[in-house]
Structure 1
Amino acid sequence: MDTVQNSEASTALGSDFAAIFVSLELSRSTWLVTSTSPGSGGKMSKHSVKGGDMAALLERFTQLQSRTKARTGVEYPVITIQEAGLDGFWIHRALQANAIESHVVDPASVAVSRRSRRAKTDKLDGEALVRTLLAYKRGEPRVCAMVKVPEPEQEDRRRICRERKVLIAERIKHVNRIKGLLFAQGISDYRPVRSDRRQRLEALATGDGRPLPPHVKMQIGRELDRLELLLDQIVVVERERDALLFMQENSDTAKPASIQMLLHLRGLGTEFVAILWGEGLFRHFDNRRQVAAYAGLAPSPWQSGTIDRDQGVSKAGNARLRTTMIQLAWLWVRHQPCSALTIWFKARVESNNGRMKKSTIVALARKLLVALWKYVTAGVVIEGASMKTA
């Protein structure tokens, strides 16, 4: 039985596809190249190159093609696969620039052994990726999920909103640090983000009537220096964000009408629109299920025999878009009270006697994302939604 299986595997690896299949296991120091080629009898070869050395990687591909040609008399193309990770997409783009077919796979979608102590090494992972690539090229359904690599310009546009989020988090840390230092001295009414923060610091006194200790005041002064730098950077980033949206209004490739349609809806500000467009709505989706799955808002059923239950949303998607949609869902209920989505939400919560608000708002976020996608792509007006006044 084993001999028959190995023979079938050799046939599938060696003759079904006229190509050399290569997987790349990437790390900072080394890249492990695992390959199988026609005429190799289904065997996989492994070779390491220095991490980041694209010239050495291309030279390895040339060697594989030369050896395969010497063995079979035919020059075969190279098809590669790699996991999406820390290296981003520059390797994928470099391979495509050298006329090499490249695929980037979601590592969570690759099937692995469910044993509690399964063996895991780079060699085993490389072989598994090669087998996954073969199955994918054979057309097997749901064998893995390939990543749709964005264009460099689309990827770069995300930087602004993501940088602003990091700066806001750092601002919160410095503000809380200053408030904590002052609260220990009996002061609780100081606001570090106000424009008169320096003047008010000089006039502060402790809760027992003493002047603010000098070392505490100097530490707070240095915290204010860092806070003011962050405030200036946030202003610069927000200006770049607004300028980018305005520039897209005059661009033929950025779908400016869609951005303007989002900005006209009550409850959607510039930051929400920038995140919605930059993180998700600029992509092409075939149906509403793909939209919900991309944001990780698709349901995860668990069904086996008589067991049938819902595990909640999958969370296997764009976390930034998912978080933004849940925040927007709460704002939608507040600013769009007459919309059909808000009426559905309130009726659902009322039917549960006011319980399960959190799970229902997640369902509303999924419905709202699909409705916004239909609105910007097909012009389907959200029922009952109100627009901003001019």
Structure 2
Amino acid sequence: MSRSVIHLALELSVTSWLIAYRFPWSDKVRLQRVSAGDSAALLTLVSDLREKAAVRLGPDVILASCFEAGRDGFWLHRLLTDNGVVNHVVEPTSILVTRGARKAKTDRLDAQGLLRVLAAAFAGDREICRMVRTPSVDEEDDKRPHREREYLVQERVRIENRIAALLATQGVLKRPSLRTWAADLDALRTGDGRPLPPCLKAELDRLRRRLLMTLDMIREVEAAREQAMEAHDGPANQTVKALCKLRGLGDNFSAVLAKEVFYRTFDNRRQIAAYLGLAPTPFQSGAMDRDRRINRAGNSRARKTMVQLAWLWLRYQPESGLAQWFRGRVGELQGRTRRIAIIAMARKLLIAIWRFITVGAVPEGAILAA
């Protein structure tokens, strides 16, 4: 079968796609460039390659392709799969590269490198790179609400900080209330007793309007999420409802964990910790064998959520086994020691929540919401 596989690698960029391919009977790598997003030209090339190979090898020809995960998302993967191509989405950071001081970087070299990686992976080498698990259309769309809310909250914080910074330049340390904005702004005086300059007041008012619009959008996203929870009782929403039973987990954290992490299946606790980048990095050389800091190679959004949840767990589940472990390990220490320990607790809490979701085991000493 290995003699009947056409390997195809796509190097994607904003303006063009460089396609490298190789026939089973030749070691020569051929290149073809098409405009970015030109799926018709790509499918035409796929059809031509299949016809040429069928003349020599018969109809049972396999087309295997790959491209790196990035800004183009997964629509191209679905297009190729629907047209009979065995496609893989490669995690870019998992590809081994030369450690020389200067590495040549061209689309041609990248496409040829991807082609070699694909050939090795298709031949059975599972260590050559890591393939991304492509979500379904519904799974991908389910992630949109909590991600949009995250961006809106970041925008809200940015606007609030900008308002505070502008006021601080005038010696004003308290932001006017949004409910009585006009009156409060007129009453404000600078640190040297002057009223606020007119251009500054106009800029602050525009920032206020942007802030109000952002707050309305956040409420809109949250309302739509609640309606979707009531209207659809799919596996992800069931997981959200189950997580909300634990005291300290609200709708936002539960949605992130359910739709970023627990829509997948994991065989063991190390797999799930590695998916979030919370697993320690092993370091073994000669007589030295120890674990170093976490690799941070996983889902950064879920990892950040778990670290925030670990701090909240100490507040809302103070009598749980994990909270007692943290206090016993850290005591009254502050600073770096406490920040390191909270990462370890986030990993333990993640595994405890995973067991709660999969087998119903409530974390030791945890209180369920009323």
**Short-chain TM bin:** over 0.9
The structure-2 alpha-carbon separation of the partners of 1:354 and 1:133, relative to structure 1 and needing over 3 Å to count, comes to: closer
Closer, same or farther: CA 365–17 of 1 in aligned 2, 3 Å = farther
Structure-2 residue corresponding to 1:280: 261
Alignment partner of 1:303 is 2:284: yes
Q: How big is the shift at 1:341?
A: 1.0
Secondary structure, aligned partner of 1:320: helix
Q: Quick check: 1:245–1:274 contact (8 Å CA) kept in 2?
A: no
Report if the CA contact (8 A) 1:83-1:104 is conserved: yes
The residue type paired with residue 9 of structure 2 is: S
Unmatched runs of 5 consecutive residues or more in structure 1? 1-14
2:211 maps to which residue?
227
Aligned mates of 1:157, 1:53 — CA distance in 2: 28
1:337 correspondence with 2:318? yes
Assess if the C-alpha contact under 8 Å between 1:68 and 1:75 holds in 2.
no
Alignment of 1:71-150 (within 5 A): 71-73=56-58, 76-150=61-135
| Letter in structure 2 aligned against 1:326 | V
The equivalent of 1:294 in structure 2 is 275
Most deviating of 47-56 and 350-359 = 350-359
Which amino acid counterpart does residue 196 of structure 1 have in structure 2? T
Aligned counterpart, 2:180: 196
Superposition pairs for residues 259-270 of structure 1, below 5 Å?
259-270=240-251
- Note closer, same or farther for the CA distance 1:129–1:349 as it changes in structure 2 (3 Å cut): same
User: What does 1:235-384 align with in structure 2 at a 5 Å threshold?
Assistant: 235-248=219-232, 251=233, 253-350=234-331, 356-384=337-365
CA deviation string 1:69-96 (max 9, x = no partner) = 3344555121111110111101001111
Gaps of at least 5 residues in structure 2 are none
Q: Percent identity?
A: 44
Out of 2, 15, 23, the position equivalent to 2:9 is: 23
Q: Which amino acid aligns with 1:32?
A: L
CA distance in 1, matches of 2:196, 2:106: 59
Give the aligned partner of residue 4 of structure 1: none
Distance 1:25 1:386, change over 3 A: same
- Name whichever of 178-187 and 285-294 sits farther off: 178-187
For structure 1, which segment, 259-268 or 204-213, has the greater mean C-alpha deviation from structure 2 after superposition?
A: 204-213
1:358 Cα offset (Å): 0.9
Tell me, yes or no, if structure 1 residue 155 matches structure 2 residue 136: no
Deviation of residue 288 (structure 1)? Answer: 1.3
Paired positions, count? 370
Question: Contact 1:265–1:385 at 8 Å: present in 2 too?
Answer: yes
TM-score by length of 1: 0.89
CA distances 1:263-310 after superposition (whole Å, capped 9, x unpaired): 111111111111111211122222211111111111111211133343
Summarize the Cα distance change of 1:268–1:55 in structure 2 as closer, same or farther, 3 Å threshold: same
Shift of 1:322: 0.3
The residue type equivalent to 2:202 in the other structure is M
CA 380–32 in structure 1, closer or farther in 2 if over 3 Å, else same:
same
Q: CA offset at residue 257 of structure 1? A: 3.8
Q: Is the 8 A contact 2:172 2:191 kept in 1?
A: yes
What are the Cα deviations for residues 40-69 of structure 1, in whole angstroms up to 9, with x where unaligned?
Answer: 2x2221111121111111111122122223
Cα distance in 1 for residues equivalent to 2:176 and 2:265:
45
TM-score, normalised to structure 2, is 0.94
Counterpart-to-counterpart distance in 1, 2:369 and 2:300 = 28
Is the CA contact 2:4–2:60 (under 8 Å) kept in the aligned structure 1? no
In the alignment, what sits opposite 1:5?
Answer: none
Distance 1:154 1:72 in 2: 39
1:75 and 1:258 map into 2 onto residues whose CA distance is 43
Counterpart CA distance in 1 for 2:140 and 2:225 is: 14
SS at match of 2:264: coil
Alignment partner of 1:173 out of 150, 153, 158: 158
Instruction: Tell me how far apart the structure 1 counterparts of residues 336 and 212 of structure 2 sit (CA, whole Å).
Output: 43
Choose 130-139 or 54-63, whichever is displaced more.
130-139
**Where does residue 54 of structure 1 map in the other structure?**
39
Letter of the 1:151 partner, please give it.
S
CA distance in 1, matches of 2:104, 2:157: 43
CA–CA distance in structure 1, aligned partners of residues 58 and 251 of structure 2: 60
Q: Is the 8 A contact 2:66 2:88 kept in 1?
A: yes
The code of the aligned residue for 1:16 comes to S
